[in-house]
Structure 1
Amino acid sequence: MGRILALDYGLKRTGIAVTDELQIIASGLTTVNTTDLISFLTKYLENETVDLFLIGEPRQMNYTVSQSEIHILQFIKQLTTEFPNIPIKRIDERFTSKLAFQTMIDGGLKKNQRKNKALIDKISATIILQSYLYSKNTE
């Protein structure tokens, strides 16, 4: 069994989280510049088996898609071209940035550390992945 890799896609940075090989535990992996994302994934996939890409789907409170969705769809097209054998699922990512920030507070990070947007992106990807694992296990 391979890993599930979750992406919190952003125009500047993308947070990445990954499961263990048994797809039980979600862990933050890293944050990369979005311009380097495909090359990062290519290198990662040289050493790891990934069964699924999980990509956050930004929605407004009324369930309409956000303005960033057009960029995410362009990225998904590229991702599908580069890695045609790895399926892609989308998951609602509303509130993940707020939950990530609250997680940082609850974890005791100082105010200066909570300004680290790369860390927020990585935690957001982890929350997206953990949400998916939870929903998968309750089906």
Structure 2
Amino acid sequence: MPRILAIDYGQKRTGIAVTDEMQIIASGLTTIPSETAIAFLKDYFGKEKVEKVLIGEPKQMNGEPSQSTEIIEKFVAQFTNAFPEMKIERVDERFTSKMAFQTMIDSGLKKKQRQNKALIDEISATIMLQDYLSRKF
């Protein structure tokens, strides 16, 4: 069974998470500089079968688009151009950064480790993906 990949795209960094081949467990894959996202994904898709890509959709509390929506929409257009056959599903990413930070605290990471924004992005993508998987079953 192909994997599902989740992308938490940001202006500077992009967190990426992926399922196992059975699509049961979400795991953080990496955090990359955002400008390298398409090249990274081309390489990854060449090595692994991916059925669908989840891309975070930033919203404000009232459901309106957030400030970063324009940046993410540009990425979605680039992604669609580079991978026209790949299925994309947009998912609400509200609170994932806060949940990721709380996860880091709960797992006992020291303050210095919790300041690693790249790790927060990767955990955020993992939370988006795990939430999607839990709603899927």
Letter in 1 for 2:24: I
Unaligned runs of 5+ in 2: none
Q: Distance in 2 between matches of 1:117 and 1:130?
A: 20
Q: Residue 72 of structure 1 corresponds to which residue in structure 2?
A: 72
Alignment partner of 1:57 is 2:57: yes
What are the superposed Cα offsets for residues 93-114 of structure 1, whole Å, 9 maximum, x if unpaired?
Answer: 1100000000000000000000
Q: After the TM superposition, list the runs of 4 or more consecutive aligned residues in structure 1 that deviate by more than 4 angstroms.
A: none
Q: How many matched pairs?
A: 137
Question: What SS does structure 1 have at the residue aligned with 2:64?
Answer: coil
Q: Distance in 1 between matches of 2:133 and 2:20?
A: 12
TM-score scaled by length of structure 2? 0.98
Letter in 2 for 1:45: F
Question: What SS does structure 2 have at the residue aligned with 1:21?
Answer: coil
TM-score scaled by length of structure 1? 0.97
Provide the alpha-carbon RMSD of the alignment: 0.6
| Identity between Structure 1 and Structure 2 (%) | 64
Q: Residue 25 of structure 2 corresponds to which residue in structure 1?
A: 25
Unaligned runs of 5+ in 1: none
> Following TM superposition, by how much is the alpha carbon of 1:79 offset from its aligned partner in structure 2, in angstroms?
0.4
